[in-house]
Structure 1
Amino acid sequence: MQRLDLATATQIASAAIRAARELGLKPMAAAVLDAVGHPLAVLRDEQASFLRPQIATGKARGCLGMGFGGRELARRAQAMPAFFDAINSLTAGEVIPVAGGVLIRTAEGALLGAIGLSGDTSDNDERCALLAIGEVGLIADNGDPQPA
């Protein structure tokens, strides 16, 4: 089974922050977690606020805990607010169900981990995650159906 290693996780996190800078977005933090939710790389642009790494980690952790990308997580949180209140109670508020959390998969679909980004709008956070995952040749799963 393929695993996400430290070098790749750091490359993804760095690429995401670099993408935000190149796109002229607000300063970002990126958190890359392995498939069981342990942090491998948590990076913060020096201009990003101190809460951004925690928010980014919450986005990634939510995706891993529920098994789908941030877009689907957000849809379900909106449809089932009481359930997500319970999830956040169980996790001490560590699940942030919005876009910007993206699962990282192999070409065959195996789960390697997740990235969360925080700093700009959720859509822009996600955009940087997608770019960074693609840059290292892995597959991004944001929770939206993939075209056939």
Structure 2
Amino acid sequence: MDPINIREPIKLKCDLPLEAASAMIDAALSSARASDLHPLTVVVLDRGGHIIALKREDGSSNLRVEVAVGKAWGALGMGMPSRGVVERLGDSEPMLNALAVASGGRFVPLPGGVLIADGEGAVIGAVGVTGDGSEADEKCAIDGIKAAGFQAIPDPA
């Protein structure tokens, strides 16, 4: 058996590079500015729920980072956009409470968490946006994903 060369970095597969995540965020924020929305916080998570990139606009309130992450993390955890989770669960308080407990409080059941898919339709991450109304947050997330050349789930177009 050959010895391991600890000086050579291990090559890890990256489905969603930092450059693409940053482009998604910048496009989402450009969409927000074009629509004169409130200050936003935008996060991109990899498929494991880890932060790749995050921006919080000046004037975005203190909890916005946690809310944006919670929207994206919940979408990944449930395997559907956060809007789908909200629509499916409706007013089911027991289920919402169960998800909150199971996720350690990380799940935020509000639209604005959108799944990112590659060219083959495989989910590779999620974008979470917060700061304006949920509809506007979701639109900015979708705009950002599409501008970077990826598929958004949902894609209303």
Settle same-fold status: TM greater than 0.5: yes
1:89 corresponding residue in structure 2: 101
* Greater Cα offset, 71-80 or 36-45: 71-80
Cα deviation, 1:72-125, whole Å, max 9, x if unaligned, reads: 111123153312211101222211122111000012111110000000000000
Q: Distance in 2 between matches of 1:81 and 1:10?
A: 36
Within a 5 Å distance, the mapping from 1:1-148 to structure 2 comes to 3-78=15-90, 80-142=92-154
| Equivalent AA in structure 1 for residue 64 of structure 2 | R
- Structure showing greater radius of gyration is 2
Report how many aligned residue pairs link the two structures. Answer: 145
Q: Distance in 2 between matches of 1:54 and 1:80?
A: 23
Cα deviation, 1:4-26, whole Å, max 9, x if unaligned, reads: 11111111112112211121000
TM-score calculated relative to the size of structure 1? 0.91
Cα deviation, 1:23-53, whole Å, max 9, x if unaligned, reads: 1000000010001100001110012112111
- Match of 1:20, SS state, is helix
**Percent identity of equivalent pairs:** 38
Q: Distance in 1 between matches of 2:70 and 2:88?
A: 16
| Equivalent AA in structure 2 for residue 64 of structure 1 | L
Asked if 2 retains the 8 angstrom alpha-carbon contact of 1:31 and 1:115, the reply is yes
- Match of 2:44, SS state, is strand
4+ residue runs of structure 1 moved beyond 4 angstroms?
Answer: none
Q: Distance in 2 between matches of 1:3 and 1:80?
A: 35
Unaligned runs of 5+ in 1: none
Unaligned runs of 5+ in 2: 1-12
